[in-house]
Chain A
Amino acid sequence: MSHPPGTVNRVPNGEVLVRARGLTKRFEDFTAVDGIDFDLYRGEAFGFLGPNGAGKSSTMRMIGCVSPPTSGELSILGLDPVRDGSAIRARLGVVPQEDTLDVELTVVENLLVYGRYFGLPRKLIRERAAALLDFVQLADRAGDKVDPLSGGLKRRLTIARSLINEPEILILDEPTTGLDPQARHVVWDRLFRLKQRGVTLILTTHYMDEAEQLCDRLVVMDHGRFAAEGSPRDLIARYCSPEVLELRFDPEVHDQAGDKLKDFNAERVEVLADRILLYVTDGDAALAGVHEAGLEPLTSLVRRGTLEDVFLRLTGRRLED
């Protein structure tokens, strides 16, 4: 990754925990990850963004040492994931995309069983389990069966479970997919606290607000490659405009207005099926310009450029799978 360190909003402190060069994962005739390079530093929160099928989860599985790379270099904590997978995993925490909790067991039993996988002494596991249930605010549910818990509670339990070995790196694959807004905010809050404690976070998401909230640095993945990389702010500055003017016209005149606005003085104009987006520095001034040009939108909205705009620009608006 030819990424000048000056462009990230938090300068990495130098210790590289994960290093990839030309990392590739192929499944028969499909290339999921196509020769990516990156360095992840201790203490940062690094996000992999991208549409479904972009190669995020495959990358996570390779970092999690459960999927051998097809080619390229990968080192995690200075070790080789194929040869030293077991030793690396002892120092990782994994929050998988789909819950893998044992629903026959109780909340606390899930932590006890998992802690045993790491060969931790029973007493230590009990202590940590109690502290972790406090941390994810599930202490009062310790003795409950897992099955009837809501999606948000299960996710928190999965996060607690992933921390039982006090991992140096926490890998989260779409940690809040399927959660309601309240539950998402609780998860974000907990993850932010972990980051404050110095845990390195690696996460995938297709929620832009999640990436903006949590990630120091991120890459946008598409077709197994990096379409862009940087801090959220960098990416917005580089691939979007400070403001976006969204216009909606009567369907009768929509196409006509689109033609007229194509040459409008904006960084970029995007004509969608239902709206026209003008990427500009000053949204209000642009709106005045639209009126001057004799166009009367039904509705107009001036908003800040967001990561979502970057994402859609880089990965397109096509629908995949």
Chain B
Amino acid sequence: MAAVMAPPASWLSSSRPVRAFRCWLTVYRRIWRSSIWSSVFGPLFYLGALGFGLGSLVNRHGTASLGGVSYLAFVAPAILASSAMNSAMGEASYPVFGSVKWNKIYIAAQATPLRPGDIYRGHLMFMTMRIAMNTALVTVYMWAFGAARSAWTVLAWPAATLTGLAFAAPIAAWAVVVKTESTFAYLFRFVMMPLMLFSGTFFPVSQLPGWLRPVAYATPLWHGTDLCRMLSLGDVDLPRALIHVAYLAALSAVGIWAGARTYRRRLYV
């Protein structure tokens, strides 16, 4: 049989990671219904319960420590950043593990011209797309509820998506070499929960005990939250914002660097 490959239609379709990404799109077209409820209603419940429910209590006692804005305006950008983290963790954990062990999407793909790094980057593109879809929705909610105090909120969407990528890239790099699925319970219990609680999501980091504050400042979620909050409140401190972006971009880059290696280690046994 002739092995003549037809000339690629364009750079885009010939790029190997994009081929992997398009496979995920096809799969997503089949399964999007099952994830739609948590994507649509999860952030809605958070915003409603915290912004309005808890917010009505907080606002009554004065919001000086929040910078004088309503609790809704304070908490909404943080919910945006943490929902980016949550979708990143969801997309980068079980689906990655399952692509080796359950539906074996990676195992099928590795028999083709795709290399482990292509498989990783293609999947990461899809995760980033999913994160961007979810953060877009939360950004729209923020506007709808009047939690967006500034036109800069538009930039909170890519900022939150970058926050998600900063989690997804390293977590996927790790998830591919995880031995048993129960390991992910630790991720959700001991990483996701504490990060959500102590990264300035529900209350300012300044309310934490002094010794704990540096820890909060070191976490990626705090950088994402603070960045989104500066943007949605229209109170942008440019150098600080750039540090946040640099931190999140660096974390993403480290993850992407590691992912090509861990995927190779796992798939090329």
Q: Which A residues form the contact surface with B (CB < 8 A)?
A: 27, 61, 64, 66-68, 85-87, 89-92, 94, 96, 98, 100-105, 109, 112-114, 116-121, 124, 162, 165-168, 197-199
By the criterion CB–CB under 8 Å, are A90 and B3 in contact? yes
**Chain B residues in 8 Å Cβ range of A168:** 1, 3
Q: Once the chains are docked, how many angstroms separate the CA of A277 from the CA of B30?
A: 58
Chain B residue numbers with a CB within 8 Å of A100 are: 104-105, 107-108, 111
Q: Which of A89, A105, A113, A198 contacts B113 (CB 8 A)?
A: A89
Give the Cβ gap from A99 to chain B, nearest Cβ, in Å: 8
Separation of A67 and B23 alpha carbons in the complex (Å): 24
The interface on chain B, measured as residues whose beta carbon lies within 8 A of the other chain's beta carbons, has a size of 33
B5 within 8 A of A: yes
Complex-state Cα separation, A165 to B31, whole angstroms: 27
- Give chain A residues whose Cβ lies under 8 Å from the Cβ of B112: 89-90, 114, 117-118, 165
Partner of A114, one of B3, B104, B107, B108: B108
* A201 CB to nearest chain B CB (Å): 12
Q: Which residues of A contact B268 (CB under 8 A)?
A: 66-68
Interface check B22, CB cutoff 8 A: yes
Q: Which residue of B lies closest to A171 (CB)?
A: B111
- Encode B64-96 as 1/0 by CB contact (under 8 A) with A: 000000000000000000000000000000000
- Assess the A104–B114 pair: CB atoms within 8 A: no
Asked whether A121 and B9 contact (CB < 8 A) given A67-B268, A94-B111, the answer is yes
10 A-B pairs (CB sep. < 8 Å): A27-B269, A85-B115, A90-B113, A101-B108, A102-B108, A117-B19, A117-B20, A118-B113, A119-B14, A197-B1
Distance in angstroms between the alpha carbons of A165 and B111 in the assembled complex: 12
**Choice from B6, B107, B109 contacting A117 with Cβ under 8 Å:** B109
Please, which residues of chain B bring their CB within 8 A of the CB of A66? 110-111, 267-268
Instruction: Check B3–A91 contact: CB distance below 8 A.
Output: yes
Q: Bound state CA distance, A294 and B9, in angstroms?
A: 81
The interface bits of chain B over 228-242 (1 if a CB of A lies within 8 angstroms of the residue's CB, else 0) are: 000000000000000
